[in-house]
Chain A
Amino acid sequence: MISFRSILRPSRIVDAHCDIPCGIYDPEQARIEAESCLRIIEKHAASDDEHFRARCIGIKEERAELVKHHLDVLWHDYFKPEHLEKYPDLHDTFWKATKQASKVKQSLDAGAAKELLSMIDTVDEMWKATGGLEKTRVNGRPS
């Protein structure tokens, strides 16, 4: 039998669709660049080849810039106002993490790069806790 409620239940979903943004987000992208920074800092310290060391610095600065970019994308595109309610320190976390990325760009301190990694891990926890893994990766992130 058809009830009043079933008459009001939509028969289907229609899409007020938009292809972009792609909706794929993952702090892993920032983490990979930050790991590059750490490894390059270590390689720089272990080398006494002047040219190699100069290249290390150039590459590290480039990678640190990418960390900032990937964090920014997560910050303004993935995270939504309702996430801020759950994590009131969300803005502060991103502000400090992007500042830390600047610090890694400027310095050759492995400790600073490790600190950056742990800050990205904090972002990763927030991303996972808000369903990012299920919602913003295709079939979830490969483990």
Chain B
Amino acid sequence: MSTGRSALLFLVLISLGLWGARRWIDVVEVRGQSMAPTLLPGDRLIVVRAPGRVADVVLAFDPRDPGRELIKRVTAVDDWGVTLRGDNPSASTDARMFGELPPSSVQWRAVARYWPPGRIGPIEEAVDCPR
């Protein structure tokens, strides 16, 4: 096999790998204030495909507007569903208004922030996690 062809094959494999990995790991940008001060508008996060556990920051589709994906913190999990709250309760529309969501609606968990550079790191636990 020529060097050119193996380089091309290598690139194709890398691309396919990254494409496949996107099903399990992805990056998203935060909009809105409801997770302040943990997450601020413009923060970019690494999310992984995983169910939400209590205290995790997770993504879930808005039950009232499925076109919108919410980011909130899990404050309770039981047989019936997952309870999501914003860390900034006075500026958050969450389980207090829309109730529990089915566990299947939570598929992604936020694990770390990679942007802005000054705030790189794991997602902090809520200072005062509302229960």
Q: Which residues of A contact B (CB under 8 A)?
A: 1-2, 7-20
Contacts and interface: CB of A to CB of B under 8 A. Distances in A.
B119 interface: no
Interface stretch (B48-56, B62-70, B75-83, B121-129): B62-70
A14 B18 contact: no
B39 interface: yes
**Chief secondary structure at chain A's binding surface:** loop
Q: Which of A2, A12, A16, A17 gathers most chain B CB within 10 Å?
A: A16
Sorting the interface of chain B by its residue count into under 10, 10 to 19, 20 to 34 or 35 or more gives 35 or more
Interface of B: 11, 14-15, 18-19, 22, 26-36, 39, 41, 44-45, 59, 62, 68-72, 86, 88, 91-93, 97, 114-115
Contacts of B18: 2, 7
Contact of A16 (B27, B33, B114): B33
Contacts of A20: 93
